[in-house]
Structure 1
């Protein structure tokens, strides 16, 4: 449904934040997502610039204010700078963000910022080079950190590091992360490992409950940050003695979905009402025809199908084998 020209579901949740995947290809081999690397099991007919323009325009006319560009690894697309620019130039879009593994960030961040990038999330699953390589399959930690540092120098004040905490790998480095942000204005976001269609054994061996980390932070004097309308799913915390902040994304926590404000579109034009949806809504025909009105009609109609919550606690992980397929 549409309420005050903003997409809204039957539970009163308003959607002003779009996660837009532009490719499902990824060049990293993160052990929690693509341990065997990217497997090309279909065509790579990803959304074109014209289709993305139609999509973003339709969403903007329906009250969407924030676009996060994701993948796979979005920087593998040579036209990423153009995609950032067209999103930023679309009337109604207030913030354009990027989530990346940072493999070429040191070379590309200047042009991304010039194109209008407002916020940056970088995957940094360890601050130890050896552990980083063990998790991601690549020895690129220095390049990733250099790119993030350059983003700060260019005036990006919303630089966040994402880390999936894994019991058998980086969970013991939690306090190292805290020490690292004491003098750095970066938000570290710890993401609770989620079960997918192909990682049950890994999940059972490595899942770390976010609630345990939250109790630890509160006991150490960290305080909750008040959320704004365009905030993502993280609960953020600040400490008067630290320049940086901590964010916790805890999908297994009670009422995680209560304040959902995000919709997702895959790199091939499927609208996903939830990260763990069983199927998507095909927007591609309308996008191919550059039909903004029809795209809007399909988006509004889809809102009636959004359910109250995911079913992760019941081990229902949806159609996706891994998160690279629709951008996490």
Structure 2
């Protein structure tokens, strides 16, 4: 990726190696999560030391720098972004950036009953929620610790907060949840 000045546009922009303008980035807020999904985390996974993870202030600076270079969509991911202490401050900072058209969250949904309205108020436009099973026992096996009811309550909280675009992400695993594809759709 490189930054170039384009005479047609009055700002410096990020350009990828194929000479395409970069308008979308993902920022990983944390590697930590309140679930331990079988396809995502090894049971004995060790997390990065906190000193090696960008601070919220540094993440806000990175977001600001990207928008100054023409990025107009930022997706916050993790781990689970909503388990990060004081993460709402970051959403508020990014949501207020001039030129940012879309602030998006990818989440497992478990923390949305607590945060959905604040996220909407901070400028989050869309939410992607991971949901790999609609069967409580299977959901528990896939996430190792997650509770389906919490995720469903999170989806409801997002709807009540006024999110019109809630996308469900599902990882389909052979002989684990592949018989639920139609139900998940």
Relative to the length of structure 2, the TM-score reads 0.88
Other-structure match for 2:166:
159
Which residues of 2 match residues 289-304 of structure 1 at below 5 A? Answer: none
The alignment of Structure 1 onto Structure 2 pairs a total of residues equal to 177
**Are 2:64 and 1:57 aligned?**
yes
Higher relative contact order (CA 8 A, sep 6+): 1
**Are 2:68 and 1:48 aligned?**
no
**Are 2:7 and 1:31 aligned?**
no
What is the SS of the residue equivalent to 1:118? strand
Other-structure match for 2:97:
90
Q: Structure 2: 5+ residue runs without aligned partners?
A: none
Structure index of larger Rg: 1
Other-structure match for 1:173:
180
Residue by residue, what CA displacement relative to the aligned partner does 1:28-84 show, whole Å, maximum 9, x if unpaired? 1111111405413x4212222321222111101110001111111111112111111
**Are 2:27 and 1:20 aligned?**
yes
Residues 158-167 or 48-57, more deviating = 48-57
**Distance in structure 2 (CA, Å) of the matches to 1:108 and 1:38:** 27
Runs of 4+ in 1 over 3 A off after TM superposition: none
**Distance in structure 1 (CA, Å) of the matches to 2:161 and 2:44:** 33
Q: Structure 1: 5+ residue runs without aligned partners?
A: 179-328
**Distance in structure 1 (CA, Å) of the matches to 2:149 and 2:87:** 23
What is the SS of the residue equivalent to 1:164? coil
Relative to the length of structure 1, the TM-score reads 0.51
